[in-house]
């Protein structure tokens, strides 16, 4: 894939948009290459939460024009059922009788330091709101471990090999990778240093170095990202005759409603319909790539190349919410109690990796990738234990289901490695 830089343009106030962060260029604090060289931080709140929204002071809300009351709104049961009342209060307070861009609403809903969705444990899994590949069965991680071992082999079996996982959650993927490596006696097990970046409810596996970041570059290793980019806050636009109009959110006294903001100029933007721009993804991908002096970056996520993501027929955008394993399209209910996600622009991720001097492969469908790694053999290898065999077979179906996790796309970027990595070889 030949990628392109993220669209740069102008916001509704006439300020030039930063290509990486969507902030006005004159006020952007992204820091460019200097910031990336200092290390990697994936604490999701890239724009920061401050002021009355940080949860550190008394919660105040506006009861009427110019009147502030302590302890916030007297939320009736109907309003309270829309989500976490304390989070709703905090969002309304920050709006201050005005409105905020959707990306800020999404950021607060997911990552508010006290009440955000991801600040609470148990969100992923059968008893949570959605499933990810690592929690389906450990063999997903076993397959990735074999992939990492192949990268280690191609690098000449370095004595130190670091695996970095931003957005590691409770460590399910880390555990399965390390369990697989524990059975190797070829030096791979002893070479591994596993670093998990997780600011929200980190795991406790003592084999893992848990951190909120930053992480310094590694001489040899792999960075693994599983469904990280799709949880970044996004700017939402409605395209029309005037151009893309940014979506803002306000409180109308009973519920959150959308209002139009300013007109932006965005390269190659759709001519009509709703679409999203993930303004943090490009810089985050660059940061991941800058970590690896020799090795690879492996990204799993829902998404498409830009021409598919912004196709003329896709007029409603890709934003989805997940609440107790039910998908819907309303981010303004269950606020703080549901996941909010959008599909990723893989063209931007590929362009970011290319700019960092890496060779880019994919994206390919997860189903195709896992079959190429030999996941079927892991299922067949359990035939002597029928219960385990059928467990693995069911997991294989879930991981490669074209209507579910099999639709996840996989992108690889390499440096210092000859030829395509496993799972990305050209079809014969």
Task: Judge whether 224 and 90 are in contact, CB under 8 Å.
Answer: no
The DSSP bridge partners found for residue 88 are none
Task: Judge whether 412 and 297 are in contact, CB under 8 Å.
Answer: yes
User: pLDDT by residue (tens digit) across 88-111?
Assistant: 999 999 998 899 999 999 999 999
Can you tell me the distance from the alpha carbon of 428 to that of 59, in angstroms, rounded to the nearest whole number? 62
Helix (H, G, I), strand (E, B) or coil at 359: strand
CA of residue 362 relative to chain centroid, distance:
18
- Tokens found for residue 426: 């050209």
Task: Judge whether 377 and 393 are in contact, CB under 8 Å.
Answer: no
Domains observed in the chain:
42-119+235-277+307-341 (no CATH), 133-231+284-302+343-415 (3.40.50.12710)
Give which of 392, 402, 405 is closest to 139, Cα–Cα: 392
Can you tell me the distance from the alpha carbon of 363 to that of 300, in angstroms, rounded to the nearest whole number? 9
User: pLDDT by residue (tens digit) across 182-233?
Assistant: 988 889 999 999 999 988 777 788 999 999 878 999 999 999 999 899 989 9
What are the helix (H) ranges across 269-428? 281-291, 306-309, 346-355, 366-372, 375-380, 386-399
Can you tell me the distance from the alpha carbon of 410 to that of 175, in angstroms, rounded to the nearest whole number? 21
pTM value?
A: 0.81
Task: Judge whether 115 and 82 are in contact, CB under 8 Å.
Answer: no
User: pLDDT by residue (tens digit) across 140-194?
Assistant: 999 999 999 999 999 999 999 999 999 888 889 999 999 999 988 889 999 999 9
Residues in the chain: 428
Task: Judge whether 226 and 300 are in contact, CB under 8 Å.
Answer: yes
Rounding to the nearest 10 degrees, give the CA dihedral for residues 328, 333, 339, 345. Answer: 60
Give which of 370, 413, 372 is closest to 395, Cα–Cα: 370
Of 167-171, 288-292, 417-421, the least confident: 167-171
Structure-model confidence comparison of residues 118 and 244, the more confident one: 244
Alpha-carbon distances, residue 309 vs 10, 118, 334 (angstroms): 21, 26, 27
Give the N- to C-terminal CA distance of the chain in Å, as an integer: 19
Of 77-81, 83-87, 304-308, the least confident: 77-81
Q: Beta-carbon neighbour count of residue 132 at 10 Å?
A: 18
Mean local confidence (pLDDT), 270-283: 94
Helix (H, G, I), strand (E, B) or coil at 311: coil
Q: Beta-carbon neighbour count of residue 330 at 10 Å?
A: 14
Whether the pLDDT of residue 56 is over 90: the answer is no
- Whole-number pLDDT of residue 181: 95
Task: Judge whether 341 and 320 are in contact, CB under 8 Å.
Answer: yes
Can you tell me the distance from the alpha carbon of 224 to that of 302, in angstroms, rounded to the nearest whole number? 15
């Amino acid at each position: 894939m030949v990628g392109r830089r993220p669209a740069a343009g102008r916001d509704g106030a006439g300020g030039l948009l930063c290509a990486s962060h969507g902030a006005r260029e004159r006020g952007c604090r992204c820091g460019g290459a200097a910031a990336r060289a200092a290390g990697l931080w994936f604490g999701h709140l890239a724009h920061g939460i401050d002021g009355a929204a940080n949860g550190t002071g008394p919660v105040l809300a506006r009861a009427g024009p110019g009147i502030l009351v302590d302890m916030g709104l007297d939320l009736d049961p109907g309003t309270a059922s829309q989500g976490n009342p304390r989070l709703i209060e905090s969002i309304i307070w920050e709006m201050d009788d005005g409105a905020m861009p959707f990306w800020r609403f999404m950021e607060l809903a997911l990552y508010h330091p006290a009440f955000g969705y991801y600040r609470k444990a148990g969100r992923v899994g059968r008893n949570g709101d959605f499933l990810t590949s690592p929690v389906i069965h450990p063999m997903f991680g076993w397959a990735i471990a074999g992939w990492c071992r192949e990268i280690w082999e191609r690098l000449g079996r370095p004595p130190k090999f670091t695996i970095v996982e931003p957005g590691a959650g409770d460590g399910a993927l880390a555990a399965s990778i390390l369990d697989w490596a524990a059975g190797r006696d070829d030096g791979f097990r002893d070479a591994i240093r596993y670093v998990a970046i997780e600011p929200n409810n980190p795991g406790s596996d003592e084999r893992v170095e848990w951190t909120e970041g930053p992480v310094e570059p590694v001489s040899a290793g792999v960075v693994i990202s599983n469904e990280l980019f799709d949880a970044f806050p996004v700017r939402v636009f409605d395209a029309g005759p005037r151009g893309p109009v940014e979506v803002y959110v306000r409180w109308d006294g009973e519920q959150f409603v959308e209002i139009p903001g300013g007109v932006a100029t965005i390269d190659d933007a759709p001519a009509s319909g709703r679409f999203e721009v993930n303004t943090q993804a490009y810089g985050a991908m660059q940061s991941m790539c800058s970590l690896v002096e020799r090795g690879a970056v492996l990204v799993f996520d829902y998404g498409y190349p830009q021409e598919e993501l912004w196709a003329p027929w896709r007029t409603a955008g890709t934003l989805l919410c997940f609440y107790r394993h039910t998908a819907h399209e309303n981010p303004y209910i269950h606020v703080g109690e549901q996941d909010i996600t959008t599909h990723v622009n893989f063209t931007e991720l590929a362009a970011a990796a290319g700019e960092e001097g890496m060779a880019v492969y994919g994206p390919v469908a997860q189903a195709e990738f896992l079959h190429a790694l030999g996941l079927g053999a892991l299922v067949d290898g359990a035939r002597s234990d029928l219960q385990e065999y059928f467990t693995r077979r069911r997991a294989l179906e879930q991981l490669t289901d074209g209507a579910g996790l099999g639709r996840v796309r996989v992108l690889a970027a390499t440096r210092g490695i000859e030829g395509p990595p496993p799972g990305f070889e050209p079809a014969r």
